[in-house]
Each structure stands twice: as C-alpha cells, then as structure tokens.
Amino acid sequence: MNISPEIISLIDEIGNDKTHGASQLARQAVNVLKLTAERSQADTTRAFLLEQRGVGERLMYARPAMAPIFNMVARFLSAVSEKATEMGLDSIRHFTISKADKVIKDSLQAIAQIAQYGAGLIADGDRIMTHSYSSTVVATLKAAFAEHRNIEVITTRSGPGRTGERIAQELGLYGPVTFIEDAAMGLYISTANKVMVGADRVCADGKIVNGIGTYQLALAAERAGILFYVLCETLKFDFRLNSNEVDLEEKEPSEVVEAGRLPPEAKVKNPYFDITPLELITGIVTENGLLTPEEIISYMEKQSIKDG
C-alpha cells in the first residue's frame, strides 16, 4: 500500500513539530486521516481500511512521548473498522470524514471544559507560572484573564524548542506576562501563587511526561510550597506504559550547542521531555474535574482492568 508524498509530508510535519502541544498534534493527526479518506483512490472497503491503517500506524508512532496522538488515532481507527463491517465503500468513506470532525470537536470541547475548571482555581491577584507550551493551559489562562483582575503570568523560555515564546506571544494580548530563562525558574517561583502546566502523557504509574524542565519546576514549587497543577484531557492517560518505558524523544544536539564548539569526546544530550513524580503534583485538572494524586492512581487502575 503506497502512501502519497503529501500525506507522508504531513506525518513528518507532526513528527518534527517543536511548537505545538500534544492535544493540537493529536487533532492534526486525525485531520491527516480525514484528508487521506477524502483523497483515497481505494476501490474496495478492504483497501480503504488498509490505507487508513497504514497512515494511522505512522501517525501513532510519529511522537512516541505524546499519548493523545496514539490514543486518539487508535480509537478512531477502531471505530472506523467496526463500522466497516456493515457499510459499503462510499458509506465508510463518509463515516470516516464525519467521525474525524466529531473526534476533533470532542477534544476541543474537553479543553474548553478544562479551561473553565482551571480558571476556577485562580483568584484575583494570582501570579501563575507555566512552562512548555500547552494549548489547554493557554486556554485556561485566557479565561482567567477575562474572569479575574490583576493576575499575571510568568512563562519560561521552555527548553531548546523555545515554546515559551509562543505562550508569551499569545497571552501577552490578554494581560501582563513575564518571560524568563529556564534557569531562572528557581529564582522566580517564590513570586508565584500557583504553577499550571500541561502534559504529554500521564503514565500507567501516574507519573507525568511533559516538556523538559517540568520536573525541575515541580521540585522548585514543592520547595516553595506552591500549588502545582497539571491540566490535560483524559485522552492523555496511557494505561499501556509505565514512565520508565516511554521514549523521551531526544532531538538534534545542534539545538543545545553548535556543532564543532565542543571537543568530540563531549556528549551532547537534548531530550525534549522529562518525568515528574506524582507526589510533586497537587492534582490533575481534566474535563471531568480535578483529580487528586490518589484519585489518579485509582482511575488508572480501574481503566487498566476495564481495557484489559
């Protein structure tokens, strides 16, 4: 089964993306499957499903640290395959396109609900620190700027990918934002009231995978006695892998230091994600409300039994 160069290019775009959050990229992945369906030249239902499966498998492993891409694509493919048993080629094509639209809509609705819950945790005069771009956190802080007075946001540069610049650009239109280097997070944490970050994955053991530097921020917050919230939809909960099994996606060393500036013996590492233990987290805000660390473990165990 051949995949068109255009579709492969879109998959590579997701794999190489350095600025968008996991939820956005998951929706982008479903859009790729929708486009595949719209432009499919398959002449049988079986060929159509093989095409969707081939593209879907590439998408599921394009960003191994980001659980929602795998989860959203896997569930989408399962729904399409199940419907195909009772539909002809034209019908399954139309179903696939409409299903993609619904999956994307459901994800956006989940984020809107999280933003509502998250903004409710913020009070007038609060100063919130964030790190590593998250569309969910940005939506929450935009809602908070609209609802509360005199709040401020501190955002870090957020690693080699510099996604913090995007946070500052978007939120700077709504209220005061302070932009700092990652190394300064320990200095500024005591000036904050709360920390709010997103997540790329909540692992089966409850630990959080997010942009590199999140663990240091969680340690600094604990030391300063600052509440630390993770905001993410339940689509990011992964019952398949524990934290020690996750690929943290090491990227090009040149993002850390120019080639040739260090002696050949010096190893340069550039991981894009790190792992934050559950005991450093106040709670996870989902579309279903706030989950405490104890509730997160219980939720993961129940889902693991259900899926098993």
Place of tokens 């100063």: 127
Whether 17 is catalytic: no
Give residue 304's pLDDT.
66
Q: How many CA atoms lie within 13 A of 18 on its CB side?
A: 16
Q: Is 244 exposed, middle or buried (0-12, 13-18, 19+ CB in 10 A)?
A: exposed
Query: What Å distances lie between residue 131 and 4, 157, 301, CA to CA?
Result: 37, 8, 29
| Start-end of CATH 3.40.50.10470 domains in the chain | 114-307
Give residue 284's pLDDT.
98
Classify domain 5-112 by CATH number.
1.20.120.420
Average pLDDT, consecutive stretches of 10 residues, N- to C-terminus, the chain (308 residues): 90 93 95 97 95 97 95 96 91 97 97 97 97 96 94 94 92 97 97 97 95 97 98 94 93 88 92 96 97 91 66
Catalytic residue, chosen from 17, 124, 200, 274, is 200
Q: How many CA atoms lie within 13 A of 142 on its CB side?
A: 16
| Start-end of CATH 1.20.120.420 domains in the chain | 5-112
The CATH superfamily assigned to 114-307 is Translation initiation factor eif-2b; domain 2 (3.40.50.10470)
